[in-house]
Amino acid sequence: MKVLVIGAAGMIGRKLCERLLRDGRIGSRDITDLVMADAVASDLGAGVAFARHVVVDLAKPDASMTLLASRPDVIFHLAAIVSGEAEQDFDKGYAVNLDGTRALFEAIRALEHYEPRVVYTSSIAVFGAPYNGAIADDFFHTPLSSYGTQKAICELLLADYSRRGFLDGIGLRLPNICVRPGKPNAASSGFFSNIIREPLAGREAVLPVADSVGQTHASPRATVEFLLHAATLQSEQLGARRTLMMPGVPASVAEQIAALRRVAGDAVVARIRHVPDPVIMAMVAGWPAHFDTPRALALGFRAEACFDDIIRTHIDDDLGGTFVR
Amino acid sequence: MKVLVIGAAGMIGRKLCERLLRDGRIGSRDITDLVMADAVASDLGAGVAFARHVVVDLAKPDASMTLLASRPDVIFHLAAIVSGEAEQDFDKGYAVNLDGTRALFEAIRALEHYEPRVVYTSSIAVFGAPYNGAIADDFFHTPLSSYGTQKAICELLLADYSRRGFLDGIGLRLPNICVRPGKPNAASSGFFSNIIREPLAGREAVLPVADSVGQTHASPRATVEFLLHAATLQSEQLGARRTLMMPGVPASVAEQIAALRRVAGDAVVARIRHVPDPVIMAMVAGWPAHFDTPRALALGFRAEACFDDIIRTHIDDDLGGTFVR
């Protein structure tokens, strides 16, 4: 099977590629060709015979045509301008997140006798307040950002191109991915990861919101499992509604901290400092926090069972099994 | 006030322009310039000093720029490739319904110090079965046609461009427009109008579905009122959710026929012939029939009170006040 990963250098793209390189297969099918595409180069999979990199700018015409030369059976489309940048640079956000994705779908459509599985990562940014309790797959598109608008539009395109038989698409709305490895970043949602990752590394972390704030989380490892499961799912099981809200572990910040205490002890928790930030508090109030995901669960998608497991996954996958006590 | 009507030669566009030409104003503001744009020429408003026509192909680059030369205060954007054609000609549907609309929004955005009211007509085609009772503004986008997909995408763009302050948009999802004047057309929903219009004109009409089939209707006159009301609404009343489901008169075919009997008598009703069409019956099963429209009602949008009034409106507006007994 031939696999194309677009956005291979991103946080999830990298973890997906590491997994594909390690397994050499998806489900029961061996990978004969793995193309890792991104706007920036990467050293991942050096020396692996079936793997290669392509540096590409999705906003450029014909970028998608180049990527499809080998007619991949499965395409993971993870590439995106993130929400903050899409809000700051209106043209760039639409050029990459909407036009880049549409150009990919059009390039697929242009090829004869070709209907690949396309796994598209969408976002809970397609939702915007006010909410009315838990959000399910059938909550309506109410984005309050250009990024969320672009994701919602691509969900609609994915469904239409699938309905017309041009491609075989599945969209996944990911919950908050936690614990994100790497440095604290400027994303307003970063604190959900920061308050776990930084203390485990022996560093202080700032909590900018009340500990009653809730969110739904899945680990990067669970997210990679979502993508792999979506790659092999029978699309007849989906019907016309091609985008699924993925499951996760609902946890308030207080519950996250309690889990950290159970897994790592009081000394680690003591590294969290509460410094309220009114700007972030206001933003958080507009985010959906609770999701019902009966469709995804019925189709076999699984997240961690509890937040303790999410912390353990981070320690195993990103910290070599240990942490700073 | 300067007004631009895009799609001025269509059924609703024509009725809107007739009204604007007659009134010479919207609300309390006089119309100083009325541009009637369409892909085909029209003779409407000949000799009216403030009115002129522009023949334009929205799918062409710069078409929108031309239309905006006078910087209209209110833009009614009614132009679209209809659902059947958008389904048959994938490229044309996307080129006009999506790209044409986006090009209009981009052209508006490109002008400095310019934030016109844009009234955009969307459609109940943004919805697709299965439903769960009555459909309200917050039912989610589930189009089962390329036309519905294009309308849903433009609703999202309208909201994002409004949120960013590039334009001041209001989207109206129109119910079934009844009674459509003119000849019976190939639209599968045409029978809702055919069974009223044709018998009133002394001709036989075919009813292809069971008389238990329901739909929500508004007259062309009520639809023009929706558009005019939307042109003058204070957008602060809308918040971030810029598209509204318009009200209408819910009626089954049996109720439509009973109203026709009350208004026009048995002899007219006797011209309806029931010839079941399994293809149309199957399509109808996928259409939404009942809508809750509390937001639109609260904002002052009004349809007819009963189906009898819809028939009377047709007799007054399209038949010169009389019909074939």
- Predicted local distance difference test score (pLDDT) of residue A265: 97
> Among A168-172, A269-273, B41-45, which stretch is predicted with the lowest mean pLDDT?
B41-45
pLDDT at A20 over 90: yes
Element (H, E) at A4: strand A2-6
> Scanning every residue of chain B, which has its alpha carbon at the shortest distance from the alpha carbon of A91?
B106
Q: What integer is the mean pLDDT of B5-30?
A: 96
Which residue, among B126, B160, B173, B243, would best test binding to A if mutated, counting the most A CBs under 10 Å from its CB?
B160
Q: What integer is the mean pLDDT of B226-234?
A: 96
- Predicted local distance difference test score (pLDDT) of residue B134: 77
Q: In the numeric block, which tokens belong to residue A167?
A: 């491609």
Of B142, B143, B156, nearest to A153 by CB-CB distance is B156
Q: How far apart, in whole angstroms, are the C-alpha atoms of residue A193 and residue A152?
A: 25
**Catalytic annotation present for B147:** yes
- Predicted local distance difference test score (pLDDT) of residue A43: 86
pLDDT at B249 over 70: yes
Of B138, B153, B164, nearest to A156 by CB-CB distance is B153
Q: How far apart, in whole angstroms, are the C-alpha atoms of residue B15 and residue B45?
A: 12
A239 touches B at CB < 8 Å: no
Q: How far apart, in whole angstroms, are the C-alpha atoms of residue B325 and residue B322?
A: 9
- Predicted local distance difference test score (pLDDT) of residue B288: 83
**Please, which residues bridge with residue A75 across strands?**
A4, A118
A142 touches B at CB < 8 Å: yes
Query: How many angstroms separate the CA of residue A291 from the nearest CA in chain B?
Result: 15
Q: How far apart, in whole angstroms, are the C-alpha atoms of residue A40 and residue A63?
A: 14
- Predicted local distance difference test score (pLDDT) of residue A38: 95
- Strand B33-38 with B2-6, pairing: parallel
Q: What integer is the mean pLDDT of B6-10?
A: 95
Q: A26 vs B130, which has greater pLDDT?
A: A26
Show contacts of B201-205: CB within 8 Å, 24+ apart. B201/B319, B201/B323, B201/B324, B202/B271, B202/B324, B203/B271, B204/B271, B204/B272, B204/B273, B205/B271, B205/B272, B205/B273
The pLDDT tens digits of the residues spanning B137-190 come to 888 888 999 999 999 999 999 999 999 999 999 999 999 999 999 887 767 789
Residues in A closer than 8 angstroms to B142, CB to CB, are 240-241
Assign residue B161 a region (left: φ > 0; alpha: ψ between -120 and 50; beta: otherwise): alpha
SS3 state of residue A128: coil
The pLDDT tens digits of the residues spanning A141-154 come to 889 999 999 999 99
Provide the CA A138 distance to its chain's centre, in angstroms. 20
For chain A, the average pLDDT equals: 94
A101 touches B at CB < 8 Å: no
Q: How does DSSP assign A135-173, residue by residue?
A: B-TTS----SSHHHHHHHHHHHHHHHHHHTTS-EEEEEE
Confidence of residue A186 (pLDDT cuts 50, 70, 90): low
A127 touches B at CB < 8 Å: no
Query: How many angstroms separate the CA of residue A154 from the nearest CA in chain B?
Result: 9
> Among A155-169, B85-99, B119-133, B300-314, which stretch is predicted with the lowest mean pLDDT?
B119-133
Q: How far apart, in whole angstroms, are the C-alpha atoms of residue A88 and residue B76?
A: 29
| CATH code linked to domain A188-216+248-289+305-318 | 3.90.25.10
pLDDT at B289 over 90: no
Q: B229 vs A236, which has greater pLDDT?
A: B229
Q: How far apart, in whole angstroms, are the C-alpha atoms of residue A151 and residue A171?
A: 10
Query: For domain B188-216+248-289+304-318, which CATH number applies: 3.40.50.2300, 3.20.20.140, 1.10.286.10, 3.90.25.10?
Result: 3.90.25.10
Confidence of residue A82 (pLDDT cuts 50, 70, 90): confident
Residues in A closer than 8 angstroms to B144, CB to CB, are 163, 240
Provide the CA A203 distance to its chain's centre, in angstroms. 26
pLDDT at B286 over 80: no
Closest CA to A20 of A59, A73, A64, A85: A73
Closest CA to B75 of B106, B115, B109, B126: B115
Of A144, A153, A240, nearest to B128 by CB-CB distance is A240
Give me the sign of the Cα torsion angle A211, A81, A1, A42: negative
A186 touches B at CB < 8 Å: no
Confidence of residue A46 (pLDDT cuts 50, 70, 90): confident
Q: What integer is the mean pLDDT of B311-316?
A: 98
Considering the candidates B114, B120, B131, B147, report the single residue annotated as catalytic: B147
Cross-chain residue pair B144–A240, CB shorter than 8 Å: yes
Contacts of A49 (CB under 8 A, 6+ apart): none
CATH level 3 topology of B2-177+219-245: Rossmann fold (3.40.50)
For chain A, the straight-line distance linking the first and the last C-alpha, in angstroms and rounded, comes to: 44
Contacts of B89 (CB under 8 A, 6+ apart): B81
Q: How far apart, in whole angstroms, are the C-alpha atoms of residue B181 and residue B162?
A: 34
CATH level 3 topology of A2-176+219-245: Rossmann fold (3.40.50)
Angle between helices B191-200 and B253-264 (to 10 degrees): 20
For chain B, the straight-line distance linking the first and the last C-alpha, in angstroms and rounded, comes to: 44
- Site of tokens 């989610």: B140
Q: A171 vs B235, which has greater pLDDT?
A: A171
Show contacts of B130-138: CB within 8 Å, 24+ apart. B131/B288, B133/B290, B134/B290, B134/B291, B134/B292, B135/B245, B135/B288, B135/B290, B135/B291, B135/B292, B136/B245, B136/B291, B136/B292, B136/B293, B136/B294, B137/B241, B137/B243, B137/B244, B137/B245, B137/B293, B137/B295, B137/B296, B138/A140
Cross-chain residue pair A160–B146, CB shorter than 8 Å: yes
> Scanning every residue of chain B, which has its alpha carbon at the shortest distance from the alpha carbon of A156?
B149
pLDDT at A183 over 70: yes
The pLDDT tens digits of the residues spanning A279-324 come to 888 888 878 888 899 999 999 999 999 999 999 999 999 999 999 9
pLDDT at B105 over 70: yes
Tell me the domain boundaries of chain B: 2-177+219-245, 188-216+248-289+304-318
- Predicted local distance difference test score (pLDDT) of residue A139: 84
